[in-house]
Amino acid sequence: DQQVKQNSPSLSVQEGRISILNCDYTNSMFDYFLWYKKYPAEGPTFLISISSIKDKNEDGRFTVFLNKSAKHLSLHIVPSQPGDSAVYFCAASYNNNDMRFGAGTRLTVKP
Amino acid sequence: DTGVSQDPRHKITKRGQNVTFRCDPISEHNRLYWYRQTLGQGPEFLTYFQNEAQLEKSRLLSDRFSAERPKGSFSTLEIQRTEQGDSAMYLCAFPGPPETQYFGPGTRLLVL
């Protein structure tokens, strides 16, 4: 049962432009949503998160938006940099247990 | 540095062999999680510990898998009679604020 879905396996953007990564979920019990970044041969690195009681959280170039009614969240990266090229995973959890991940979106930022 | 080390980082084994992985958080955490990540997928939850107690197991954790956390600090994950389908990256994680989990570098297992 795929409770967290990332429908775009890849995204390519030009340096300096905005990257928008999308994620959908099905379980309304999730109370926290997270984005992780992963480089090859490394574990996922926590990037940014949002509580279900908020609709936006910003940290530098990264902003996460949550639309609970649509069960949709997105990660905006502005401006995108070549070093942002990685696989991005969306994750959701209830009570910080049994975190569910999407399949990931590979972001390529071209110089 | 995520504060978690995993050993070994890579393991190649033949089908049918047993393998054991270790996870060492640098500082003490009451919870510890194990995940598995296969190619093209996100991490999948396997099990978690609250101190020494194993509190939840995913249906992915077949009876060939066993995990322990004997002193509530480091943890081991053993796979008996490995199969080619066990080839994956095995990740451990511990909780951090706020409501996040921080992952170790993982152990990449290849079963031939």
Residue of A nearest to B1 (CA): A45
Amino acid A94: pLDDT = 86
- Which residues have CB under 8 Å from A104's CB, separation 6+? A6, A9, A38, A87, A88, A89, B40, B41, B42
Type of residue numbered A70:
A
Q: Are strands A4-5 and A19-25 parallel, antiparallel or unpaired?
A: antiparallel
pLDDT digits (tens, 9 = 90+) for A58-69: 999 999 999 999
Mutate to test the interface with B, among A93, A97, A100 (most CBs of B within 10 A): A97
- Largest pairwise CA distance in chain A: 40
Q: Looking at beta carbons, which residues of chain A come within 8 Å of B48?
A: 97-98
Q: Which residues contact A3 (CB under 8 A, 6 or more apart)?
A: A25, A26, A27, A30, A92, A100
Q: Answer yes or no: is pLDDT of A8 > 70.
A: yes
Average pLDDT, chain A: 94
Q: Does A64 touch chain B (CB under 8 A)?
A: no
Each residue's pLDDT tens digit, B44-84: 999 999 989 988 888 788 899 999 998 888 999 999 999 99
Eight-state DSSP code of residue A69:
T
Please, is B89 exposed, middle or buried when counting C-beta atoms within 10 Å of its C-beta (0-12, 13-18, 19+)? buried
Q: What is the pLDDT of residue B28?
A: 77
